[in-house]
Chain A
């Protein structure tokens, strides 16, 4: 048994020979994913107010040109995103336009599966893209857990084998971890899964303790609690991925008020995370990335909402992003046959950039083929 462990890890070391020294020797930098679950309405997030078609397609839902948030040199943004202005001014905010994939699938579940596994539209992969990223990487193996998922039970991009912990209340988690034991024998089937979870608990329970104290004040509400936990875990430096899920973006009905509240909560969360992580010296090694399974249909429906769409905008925040706009907003004048946007940037170009520019990992094996990094990370 010992011998096999030795062979595996020396093999992994050899295969990493081309990596820069820090990737092997120090802990990987932190990626915080903010999942906007349900399909965020991108057109009312980064708003194409210069396109007349926007107002034709959305007689009720279009944001008024005098109401949007205008940051110097930025496209028009939903007014709820106004709190992000400091990040933009400090060069710590990037807008990734038109992100999607060919042959878009309009089902929530299938589309988020495509995003989480980084598969083609009609291909089914069993492992999350981050699971493949951390697989056999000694720098990640030195951490207490590969990732922590907050606000959802599914492990998303960490599914299918990563040492990921899903938790909503870390302090309680640590207290309860004593109920697990890691001495179960190897097994098969669903029992093997239960045993693996037990040993993940034991290790994370011992090491992921959000004991950090913050002067930063956290917003109220579920997302505020979630980012407080996330900040506490980030401060330990013992994980490399945090994913927070913000539900509620499936705005088929009465979208205007609901969407405004959701975006406001997201903007507040990002601003608060910056303050809290700066306080603990972690912000300098943090990248925040927002994503959603799809955008929404350009033409509003009769219920004051929007139906499932395709491409959308993503945001990246952190001291190492290349500030500005990357990619191109899809035209509202050449929609696809369903009336949806045609993507301009494959989402896997965003992932390639995270893998190569953030973690210095070769992306081709993880993404199955070569995607040109979008280059939004300095």
Chain B
């Protein structure tokens, strides 16, 4: 019965697009809103391409462009050998320190690599979904340590970003970074570690309130034996550490292993609803509509194709009609990447930009805890709002600095005896982008040093803001000052 309903719901969602032919084209305003929600603030070229499409046609085009791998060449160090923990322990202090420093450098490089992909990817939606899964199936480098494993997890998340959720769940549960992050790697028969079992239910599938403590304890037994081969850094199953006894999880009894438990979790209606609700907050509005969530979740469960709920959500009317009540807060990555994409700017120092994003509260590959970044209003507090504004201001003002320091990022400003903390702070506060403000302003019919006429200013505001600016600006403002005022307006933090 449920299956039939699922098929029906899926059909209805697709029928929506079949009727699309009679819909009017989006036009530039709605196209900009859709592209901002489904990716990052778009370039003018993308806006004009999508303006001519209907809402459904545009969403289908976005989904047709989805990728399963990054366009940016992989970092060179991914081939670096995995140095097993016991080998690390056997090293001299100096050698070990050097190895750890290498991992830290690789970690910074990894952040820069992903940021480049976000800025340059032909499919921004792919990167947004990869970010979404990174914030869902959380692993963080301070605990995982091995940068290669964090990279591999990122590749896995992108591969399934809009693929099948059931497959993604099974694979991510055996992902080495995840095994380390949630202590599964050291959980064994007789003394299971409950960390993974708890988080997989609370945060990855069901959500709080849909299981009991006993389900966690029983499931933890099922996951025993899932481990890592310490020589290769790959997943391995250790039969001798696996608890093969009978368990009962959410009413299902048997000699359940880890995969069987994941299937039990997938069979619960709460799982699809939990994911769809989270996707709603990512793409549609701060308050999910429970009725629509349930019908989309029903379609989702039938085949677990992630593109099904993403498509349905991007087709919601809220996505192309912005008012203050359905506005969302841009994440730090969205703020920075969107700024670059819409200005046509260049990411001159990806690592420094990634460190700036970390200063805004989103240290990529290192969410604060297994729940991930809470997002929404929590992105904005006194500290992070200032970090955002400081970044935007630097982007506009330090043009000459950016041009002279591309090749020697740190040489002139950093000394050998600077502490790592100090070095990071300097990176965070340095210029990492190059923006051609003149070309940008020209698209709104303005020039940096010329007084902006009201019509041009409102054009600029339409290009940059999804809700009207909060602060009124005076007459006789020069173009560059108008641009700065618009970017520093609180409304620029919203999408």
Chain A complexes with chain B: yes
Any A CB within 8 A of the CB of B163: no
Complex alpha-carbon distance, A155 and B327, angstroms = 23
Q: Please, how many angstroms separate the alpha-carbon atoms of A357 and B187 in the complex? A: 46
User: Are B383 and A166 touching (Cβ within 8 A)?
Assistant: yes
- Please give, as numbers and ranges, the residues of chain B lying within 8 Å of A308 by CB-CB distance: 194, 198
Closest-by-CB residue of A relative to B208 is A110
B374, B383, B490: the one within 8 Å of A198 (CB): B490
Is B122 engaged at the interface, CB distance under 8 Å to the other chain?
Answer: no
* A57 → B minimal CB distance (Å): 13
Q: Tell which of B327, B370, B374, B381 touches A190, judged by Cβ atoms closer than 8 Å.
A: B327
Do the beta carbons of B198 and A106 come within 8 Å of each other?
yes
Question: Among residues 368 to 390 in chain B, which have CB atoms less than 8 Å away from a CB atom of chain A?
Answer: 368-371, 374, 376-378, 380-387, 389-390
**Chain B nearest Cβ from A106, distance in angstroms:** 7
Contact A109 B193 (CB under 8 A): no
Give chain A residues whose Cβ lies under 8 Å from the Cβ of B327: 189-191
Q: Say which residue of A154, A169, A187, A307 sits within 8 Å of B194 (CB atoms).
A: A307
Do A153 and B390 touch across chains, with their CB atoms under 8 A apart?
no
Nearest 10 pairs between A and B by C-beta? Answer: A302-B191, A184-B470, A179-B389, A303-B186, A176-B386, A194-B490, A166-B381, A165-B382, A193-B377, A189-B324
B195 A252 Cβ-Cβ under 8 A? yes
In the complex where A176-B389, A184-B471 touch, is A303 in contact with B183 (Cβ < 8 A)?
yes
Q: What's the nearest-Cβ distance from chain B to residue A163, in Å?
A: 10
Q: Which of B357-405 contact A (CB under 8 A)?
A: 361, 368-371, 374, 376-378, 380-387, 389-390, 393
A133-171 interface bits toward B, Cβ cutoff 8 Å, 1 = contact, 0 = none: 000000000000000000011110000000011111100
Which of B183, B195, B382, B493 makes the CB contact (< 8 A) with A167?
Answer: B382
Given A167-B382, A338-B213, CB of A301 within 8 Å of CB of B471:
no
A197 touching B471 by the CB < 8 A rule? no
Q: List the B side residues contacting A253 at CB < 8 Å.
A: 183, 186
Contact of B494 with A194 in the complex, beta carbons under 8 Å: yes
Residues of chain B within 8 A (CB-CB) of A106 are: 198, 213
State the CA gap A301–B183 with chains docked (Å). 11
Nearest-CB residue, chain B, relative to A108: B369
Residues 96-110 (chain A) with a chain B CB within 8 angstroms: 106-110
Cβ of B266 within 8 Å of any chain A Cβ, yes or no, is no
Contact at A307–B193, with CB atoms within 8 Å? Answer: yes
Using CB atoms and an 8 Å cutoff, list the residues of chain A in contact with chain B.
Answer: 106-110, 152-155, 164-169, 173, 176-177, 179-181, 183-185, 187-191, 193-195, 197-198, 200-201, 204, 222, 225, 252-253, 301-303, 307-308, 338
| A153-B361, A190-B286, A253-B183 known; A195-B382 Cβ under 8 A | no
Interface contact A179-B393, CB-CB below 8 Å? yes
Interface check B354, CB cutoff 8 A: no
Give every chain B residue within 8 A of A191 (Cβ-Cβ). Answer: 324, 327, 467, 470, 490-491, 494
Given contacts A153-B368, A176-B387, A194-B490, 8 further A-B contacts (CB under 8 A): A153-B378, A164-B381, A167-B382, A173-B383, A187-B470, A189-B324, A189-B327, A253-B183
For B467, list chain A residues within 8 Å (CB).
Answer: 191
Return A142 CB to nearest CB of chain B, in Å: 19
Taking the complex as formed, is B9 at the interface, i.e. its CB lies under 8 A from any CB of chain A? no
Residue of B nearest to A169 (CB): B425
Least Cβ–Cβ distance between A168 and chain B, in angstroms: 7
Are B471's CB and A181's CB within 8 A? yes
Report if B325 contacts A (CB, 8 A): yes
Q: Is the CB of B378 within 8 A of A154?
A: yes
Any A CB within 8 A of the CB of B188: yes
**B421 contacts which chain A residues (CB < 8 A)?**
222, 225
Asked if A302 and B186 sit within 8 Å, CB to CB, the answer is yes
Interchain residue pairs with CB less than 8 A apart (15): A107-B198, A107-B202, A107-B208, A153-B368, A166-B383, A168-B383, A183-B471, A189-B325, A190-B376, A190-B377, A190-B380, A191-B324, A191-B491, A194-B329, A303-B191
Cβ contact within 8 Å between A252 and B183: yes
Closest A residue to B194 using CB positions: A307
Contact between B381 and A194, CB atoms less than 8 A apart: no
Contact of B381 among A153, A184, A185, A338 (CB under 8 A): A153
B429 shortest CB reach to chain A, Å:
8
Q: Which residues of A have CB within 8 Å of B370?
A: 108
Q: Which of A173, A184, A222 contacts B382, CB < 8 Å?
A: A173
CA distance A177 to B383 in the complex (A): 9
Nearest B residue to A165, CB-CB: B382
Decide: A194 and B188 in contact? CB cutoff 8 A. no
Interface check B353, CB cutoff 8 A: no
Task: Evaluate contact between B374 and A154: CB separation under 8 angstroms.
Answer: yes
Alpha-carbon gap, A108 to B195, bound state (A)? 11
Q: Which residues of A contact B381 (CB under 8 A)?
A: 153, 155, 164-166, 197
Per-residue contact bits, chain B 195-219, to A (CB 8 Å; 1 contact, 0 not): 1001000100000100001000100
Do residues A153 and B384 form an inter-chain contact, with CB atoms below 8 A? yes
Residue in B195, B328, B494 whose Cβ sees the most chain A Cβ within 10 Å: B195
Indicate if B172 sits at the interface (CB-CB under 8 A): no
Q: Given the complex, which residues of A lie within 8 Å of B326, measured CB to CB? A: 189
Q: CB distance B382 to A204 under 8 Å?
A: yes
Closest-CB distance, A207 to chain B (whole angstroms): 13
Which residues of chain B are within 8 angstroms of A190 by Cβ–Cβ distance? 286, 327-329, 376-377, 380, 494
| Residue numbers in B under 8 Å from A198 (CB-CB) | 385, 490
- Neighbouring A residues of B325 by C-beta, 8 Å: 188-189
